[in-house]
């Protein structure tokens, strides 16, 4: 069992055979495909994965990957942060054929490198799948629409010829 700092790679067959547990933390900044989800702070990514063999004897990995992901709110464009937790339940496969042969309820994970499979790929993929499709504050802290509307009001007031006239009149009196 590994704790604390995560290993950057995993060996799918060996880890499955040994029933290894991988527990630790990395950060969103360490995962290049999550660059768009990085907040002001380099949020941590918590990883708890258990390698083993599933009921069919296939090499598998299960557990959770969780992180705070930040993305722009669709309404006000200010960042909104989500606690994203991905439940991992994957059967590791080496070929397309193995992938297609999996029963419907099993999700395959294609292993592209023996011994040194980058852990970051798995973490990125699982977090991206679990991330919300549309990000939005429940209540926008600083609604952009409102601000634009009041700014537009000011412009109208300034350009209103009657307002200018009234001002001139009051100056003459
Ligand atoms: Zn918002």
pLDDT tens-digit readout, 80-97: 999 999 999 999 999 999
Q: Which residues, 6 or more positions from 71, have their beta carbon under 8 angstroms from its beta carbon?
A: 36, 37, 79, 80, 82, 131, 135
Distance of CA 86 to the CA centre of its chain: 10
Find residue 118's DSSP bridge partners.
9
Token output for 71: 């993305």
DSSP secondary structure code for residue 7 in this structure: P
Question: How close is the Cα of 92 to the center of ligand 1, in Å?
Answer: 39
Residue ranges covered by each domain of the chain: 9-140, 143-173
Of 59-68, 109-118, 137-146, minimum mean pLDDT range: 137-146
Query: Any idea which residue has 């995962």 for tokens?
Result: 31
pLDDT-derived band at 115 (thresholds 50, 70, 90) equals confident
Question: How close is the Cα of 90 to the center of ligand 1, in Å?
Answer: 35
Distance of CA 84 to the CA centre of its chain: 6
Question: How close is the Cα of 147 to the center of ligand 1, in Å?
Answer: 13
Question: How close is the Cα of 143 to the center of ligand 1, in Å?
Answer: 7
Question: How close is the Cα of 41 to the center of ligand 1, in Å?
Answer: 19
Question: How close is the Cα of 81 to the center of ligand 1, in Å?
Answer: 11
pLDDT-derived band at 39 (thresholds 50, 70, 90) equals confident
What CA–CA distance (Å, rounded) separates 115 from 8? 12
What CA–CA distance (Å, rounded) separates 99 from 92? 9
pLDDT of residue 1: 44
What CA–CA distance (Å, rounded) separates 74 from 79? 9
Average pLDDT rounded to a whole number, residues 60-78:
95
Q: Is the pLDDT assigned to residue 58 strictly greater than 80?
A: yes
Find residue 93's DSSP bridge partners.
110
Phi/psi for 12 (5° steps) reads -55, -50
């Amino acid at each position: 069992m590994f704790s604390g700092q995560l290993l950057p790679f995993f060996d799918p067959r060996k880890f499955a055979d040994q029933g290894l547990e991988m527990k630790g933390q990395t950060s969103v900044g360490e995962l290049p495909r999550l660059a768009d989800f990085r907040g002001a702070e380099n949020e941590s990514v918590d990883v708890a994965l258990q390698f083993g063999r599933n009921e069919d004897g296939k090499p598998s990995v299960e557990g959770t990957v969780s992180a705070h992901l930040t993305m722009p709110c669709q309404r006000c464009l200010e960042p909104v942060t989500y606690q994203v937790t991905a439940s991992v339940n994957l059967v590791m496969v080496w070929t397309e054929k193995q992938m297609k042969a999996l029963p419907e309820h099993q999700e395959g994970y294609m292993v592209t490198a023996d011994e040194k499979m980058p852990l970051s790929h798995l973490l990125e993929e699982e977090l991206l799948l679990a991330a919300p499709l549309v990000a939005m504050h429940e209540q926008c802290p600083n609604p952009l629409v409102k601000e634009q509307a009041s700014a537009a009001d000011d412009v109208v007031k300034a350009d209103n010829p009657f307002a200018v006239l009234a001002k001139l009149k009051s100056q003459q009196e």
